[in-house]
A and B are shown apart, each in its own frame.
Chain A
Amino acid sequence: MTPFRVSIFAAIAALILLAIVFELMRSRRLQERYALLWLLTGLVVFVFAAWRSLLGWAADAVGIAYPPSALFVFASFFILLVLLHYSTVISRLSEQNTVLAQRLALLEHELERVRATD
């Protein structure tokens, strides 16, 4: 069984994470689409911390003898998902950045041509 102090600590940490994400969204520094995975991470950690028998069962199911280690593994998995998501976001942004630079260069050229003929 998970020691009580571990559960309490993990639950508080998860709530702090959720509160920070909420405040960042409220003050418009974090868009909803990028906040969803963080919210999910916070919720999963909170549920496993608060529902101790569920954590024990899940740890047993994946063959981890010490339940707090399972909590750590689950949290790491979600953080990995967040990172992977960011990689896709960066890929899209760099792609769009290229398109914007190309369009801008062509427009600039076009504008100079139009000015020259006036």
Chain B
Amino acid sequence: MATPADTIRSSSDVVKLTSLRRLAIVPALNEAGSIESVIRDIRAEDPDFEVLVVDDGSSDSTAALADAAGALVVRLPFNLGIGGAVQSGLQFAREHGFDIAVQIDADGQHDPSQLPQLLAPLITGEADVVVGSRFLGERNYKAPLVRRIGIRVFAGIVSALVGQPLTDTSSSFRAFGRRAIAYFARDYPHGFVETVEATVIAARCGLRLKEVPVVMRQRLMGQSSLTLPLSIYYSIKVLVAVFVGIFRRGAYELKED
């Protein structure tokens, strides 16, 4: 397990971090029970983080609670699915000139105290997309066997496709640098299980990927929004999308800035 001391390598990296504008994108659908503590935990870890809650059509008080907790809130007029919600956040990040955007789940699974590990490869400039993997380093990821197998199968397929060993392409605890923000703001997969497709798109258009080990917490409230039939549908959809993706070039040229 990497400690913050390992990941932040020099004092110049620390100086660099403080000069970078950081946005936490929290896509939320009916997460009134956990949204406040998620926002609080992010602020406690790093007060300079701007927190943007993207309310993906909640019918509860998620947006009002997020607003009261001091987060910026974008309310989508109807449910777009996790991919569309995250992309809205990335568009916000691009329009407002953020250097780093981190996707953090609203259910409390992602522990903000692990943000330093996640941000380190962006600060040192060795990656454009950093994924927090549940299968690297210390493993305490508890999930049904079927789910874990599914995650590993996707990771195996995607590793072969992108020519880089990846252990967890389903993790939504991810950080994006400027190049990734610029690209994904225009071209990002929709629906669920979008992270697998996003990984392939990233590799195809020349974004550099890096995985770092993270430990996830148990979700605070609520249920996974994926039921079994939906999981099967999205798995097939993603497999088709990934297969077609092999024969596809990036939709847009990656702009260097």
Binding site for B on A (CB under 8 A): 22, 25-28, 31-33, 35-36, 39, 96, 99-100, 103
Are A32 and B244 neighbours in the complex by a CB distance under 8 Å? yes
Mark B217-242 against chain A: 1 for CB-CB distance below 8 A, else 0.
00000000000000000001100110
Cβ contacts A to B, 27 pairs, < 8 Å: A22-B244, A25-B240, A25-B244, A26-B244, A26-B247, A26-B248, A27-B248, A28-B248, A28-B251, A31-B190, A32-B237, A32-B240, A32-B241, A32-B244, A33-B191, A33-B237, A35-B240, A36-B236, A36-B237, A36-B240, A39-B240, A96-B77, A96-B78, A99-B77, A99-B78, A100-B77, A103-B77
Q: Is chain A's binding surface mostly helix, strand, loop or mixed? A: helix
> Considering the complex of A and B, which 3 residue pairs feature the smallest CB-CB distances, nearest first?
A32-B241, A25-B244, A99-B77
Chain B at the A interface: SS class = loop
Min CB distance, A103 to chain B, in Å?
5
Q: Which residues of A contact B244 (CB under 8 A)?
A: 22, 25-26, 32
Give Cα distance in the complex from A30 to B16, angstroms.
Answer: 43
Which of chain B's residues has its CB closest to A92's CB? B78
- Give A26 to B236 CA distance when docked, in angstroms: 17
CA distance A80 to B17 in the complex (A): 57
